[in-house]
Every structure is written in C-alpha cells, then in structure tokens.
Copies of this chain bind each other. A is one copy, B any other.
Amino acid sequence: MSLDINKVVIKTSLASCFGSHFKEVEGANAFIDELAQDAEEISFEQGEYVFREKDAPEYVYIPESGSLMLERSTASGSRQVFAFLFTGNLAGLSESVSYSFSAKALTNCVVIRISRKLMQDIFDKYPSVAKRYHDVTGHILSLILDQLFIMGQKSAHQRLAHFLLDMEHRLGRGTHRFLLPMSRQDIADYLGMSLETASRGFSRLKKDGLIDIESNYHITVLDNEKLISYAD
C-alpha cells in the first residue's frame, strides 16, 4: 500500500493525467502525499483484466507502462472497444454502481491503482483538485463525443485513417513510426467494422503509399497530409 512518487514514470504518468501544471493547484501536494501512502503499482500480464464490467468501481487506474483496452461484450459474443489507453491515461473515473466496461491489458503492463474513496476525501478537502479532476472528466467526455462523431459520419476506410493519425499522435512521440499494441480484431471492434475490412484498409493505405507496414504492428506514416485529407 505505497507508491514511490519520486519514480520518474510515476511522476510523468500523473502529470500527463492531471495536466502539466497540476502541482500548482491548491491541495495537489496533499493529494500526491496521500497517493504515496495509499496508492499502489500493480502489474498485469498481457490478456489479463484490470477490472471487469460488473465489478464495483472501487478504484481508478492510470497505466504507467504498457497499454489497456476498454471494452464491452454482448451475450452474443460481439464486442465494442471504447478506447485504447496508454501511459498517463485514466480509466474508471466516473462510474457509479459498477464499471460500464472492462479494462483488458493489451501488453504486459504496470498500472497505478488509486482508491476512489481516497480521491473523494481529497476532493472534499481541496475543491481545486476536484475541479481539476472534473476537467479531466470533461476532456474525456469530449474525446468520446469525437469518437461518436467519427462513428456516425465516416466510411470504414476514413475511420481507419483517422485511427492511424490518432495512434501516430499518441504513440509516435514526434516521429511518424509507431508500434501498435492491439490486433486487427481490436481495431475493427473499436471502429465498428469487420476484421477483414480493417485489414483491407491497411493494405489499401500501404498500396497507395500513405503508410508503410513492416511487421503488422510496426507502422510508419509516410504521407501525413494525404492521410489527413483521406480521413477528411
């Protein structure tokens, strides 16, 4: 039940989650001290579930290394992927009686686990921290709206182009080359299309010279502008 808040990965994860100027927020230091006491680092193997849809939402999770996938499955076996989470993203922030999706480890990963009760206590003491947290929630809400917009508007191939641009931005770290942690099936379930359509999309973009595919997961965006105009 303790967290080494001086570890660089933890610092950067928290900073990216709550914003770069978080430390200037009143109560932020008290919050971080409490995290040092009560939060934990937990490791998960690829394929394990960090939490499941029906679980009581006792914790909030921040990946520190590795990737998570938020998904919901139906009785009939089909699945919707809501989001892919990387270092410094946040999962499980605003659930009430149970999580409304499951979180699965896409890779071996380490996540920071924070008790929601602890967060609530801090919020009661420091409204500024609560406000910042609410801002984060609002930001996530707007990301989901963007996703909803994309799902409603675009063709399958456009959605895929959009997805690749997002991954380039989040995984590329300034370069145009990145390693996808998820399978074609995961991507298809995220974008609401079949595995085959997703695969054809990749092939098409490669054939047209917009991207390069080295090893199925190693992608390089060759022509950013064309890809953007393709995603439109």
Which A residues form the contact surface with B (CB < 8 A)? Answer: 72, 74, 76, 78, 80, 82, 93-96, 100-101, 120, 123-124, 127, 130-131, 133-135, 137-142, 144-149, 151-153, 189, 191-192, 232
Residues in B neighbouring A141, C-beta threshold 8 A: 94, 137, 140-141, 144
Q: How far is the CB of A19 from chain B (nearest CB, A)?
A: 11
Is there contact, CB below 8 Å, between A101 and B145? yes
Given contacts A144-B145, A149-B72, A153-B192, contact A138 B137 (CB under 8 A): yes
Residues in B neighbouring A78, C-beta threshold 8 A: 153
Identify A135's interface contact among B96, B133, B145, B192, CB under 8 A. B96
Q: How far is the CB of A136 from chain B (nearest CB, A)?
A: 10
Given contacts A82-B148, A192-B151, contact A94 B137 (CB under 8 A): yes
Q: How far is the CB of A125 from chain B (nearest CB, A)?
A: 8
Identify A152's interface contact among B127, B145, B192, CB under 8 A. B192
| Complex CA–CA separation, A231 to B47 (angstroms) | 31
Identify A100's interface contact among B93, B101, B120, B145, CB under 8 A. B145
| Complex CA–CA separation, A38 to B93 (angstroms) | 31
Name the residue on B nearest A124 (C-beta): B127
| Complex CA–CA separation, A78 to B150 (angstroms) | 12
| Complex CA–CA separation, A232 to B75 (angstroms) | 10
Residues in B neighbouring A130, C-beta threshold 8 A: 123, 127, 130, 134
Q: How far is the CB of A72 from chain B (nearest CB, A)?
A: 6
| Complex CA–CA separation, A94 to B142 (angstroms) | 8
Name the residue on B nearest A192 (C-beta): B152
